[in-house]
Amino acid sequence: MSTSGHFAQTCIVFQGQTPKTKNTENGSFNQAFGMRALLFLMWLMHWLPLPLLGRLGEGVGGILFYVAKSRRHVTLTNLRLCFPELSKASRRELALEHFRAFTRAVLERSILWWASEQRLRRLIVNEPAVPLQAMHSGPTILLCPHFVSLDVAAAAVMLDSEGCTVYTRQRNALFDQALRKGRSRFRRVAMFARSDGIKPVIRAMREGLPFFMCPDMDFGTKDAIFVPFFGVPAATLTATARLAAATGAKVIPMVATVLPNYKGWKITYFPAWEDYPGDDLAVATRRMNQFIEEQVVKTPAEYFWAHRRFKTRPPGEPDVYETPTPPA
C-alpha cells in the first residue's frame, strides 16, 4: 500500500514498512530500536480490555482523519465514486468513521498476536461456524474481502485449522518476523510471498491446506481485468476464478465485522459458490465484485477505503485521484 502524510506514516509503521533512512550504522540501529519499541508497545496493548483498546484506536483514528490529508483524499475519492448518491457531508462522516475503524483494527492486532487462545475464542463469534468439514473435504479457497478486521477472520480459522496464504513481505525484518509468528502461533500456516507465484499455493492446496485469499486490491493490469466495482471500472485480479478452475476448489466467502459495544468480532461464513467459476472469466470476476459490494453496503465504514482501489485506469481514462485534497 502506498502511503504519505501522517496517516501514511502510522500505517507504514504498523505494517512494518518503516520510512527509508540513510544507509548508515546509526540509521540501522535507530530503525531496529524503534521497531522493537513499537512491538513492545503493541505487546503491552494486548493486556488492555477490548473496550479501552477499541476506544483508543478510534480516538487516534479521529485525529488522523484531520492530519493525514493524502489518505483522507483517497478515502473521500473512493466514497464519491462508489456512493455518488450520498451528500458530501454524509461521505465525510463515513470517511471519518472509516479512519476510526481502521486505526482501531490496527491496535486490536495486538490481541490477535499475543492474547491467549481462550481470550480469542471468547471475543470471536463464528456464524454459523468455521466450515471445517467443507474445508477438509477437498481444495478450498476462503475468500475474505478487505474489511478492516480481516486479520480476525484469519485468526478465527487458524484457531481450528492449518492453512496457507499469500502475504506481502514487510520491509522491516523484525516486523515481518512478528507478523509471521503472530499469524501462525496456533496452527501451521504456510505463508508465501507474492513473488513466489501461484505454484506453491497450488501444491499446498493439494496437500489439504485451505487457502485464505484477499483478492480485492489494485495490483495493476497483470492477471487482472476491468470489471465494475460499484459501477466504476476496477482492475480486478482473476486469480480466484483461475485458481478455482485449476484446482477444482470450492470458494467459501467469509466477512469479518466488529460486534457492537466492543464485544469482539463476528466472522460470517457464506455457502460455497455453486457453478463457480464457469466458462467466462469476466463473469466469474464480476460475480466476486458483486458479492463484495453486497457486503460493503451492510457495514460501509469497515471496508478498506484508504486503498487506491481505482489507481489503474482503462486506457484513456484520467487518474481519479489527481484532484485537490478536499477539506476536512
Give the 3-state secondary structure of residue 139.
coil
pLDDT of 235 higher than 60: yes
The Cα 3–Cα 8 span in angstroms is 4
User: Which pLDDT does position 327 carry in this prediction?
Assistant: 55
- Residues 199-203: what's their mean pLDDT? 94
- Residues 151-160: what's their mean pLDDT? 95
Pick the residue with more confidence: 245 or 21? Answer: 245
pTM for the whole structure: 0.88
Q: Over pLDDT 70: what percentage of the chain?
A: 90
CA 312 to chain centre: 19
User: Which pLDDT does position 23 carry in this prediction?
Assistant: 52
Render pLDDT for 65-121 as a digit per residue (tens, 0 to 9). Answer: 999 999 999 999 999 999 999 999 999 999 999 999 999 999 999 999 999 999 999
pLDDT band, very low/low/confident/very high, at 328 (cuts 50, 70, 90)? low
Range name among 91-100, 193-202, 316-325 with the lowest pLDDT average:
316-325
- Residues 228-244: what's their mean pLDDT? 97
User: Which pLDDT does position 128 carry in this prediction?
Assistant: 96
Please give the single-letter amino acid code of residue 265. W
User: Which pLDDT does position 313 carry in this prediction?
Assistant: 97
pLDDT of 16 higher than 60: no
User: Which pLDDT does position 323 carry in this prediction?
Assistant: 66
Which spans in the chain are helix H? 5-14, 25-45, 50-67, 69-82, 88-114, 117-123, 132-135, 150-158, 173-183, 199-206, 239-247, 281-296
Which spans in 129-272 are helix H? 132-135, 150-158, 173-183, 199-206, 239-247
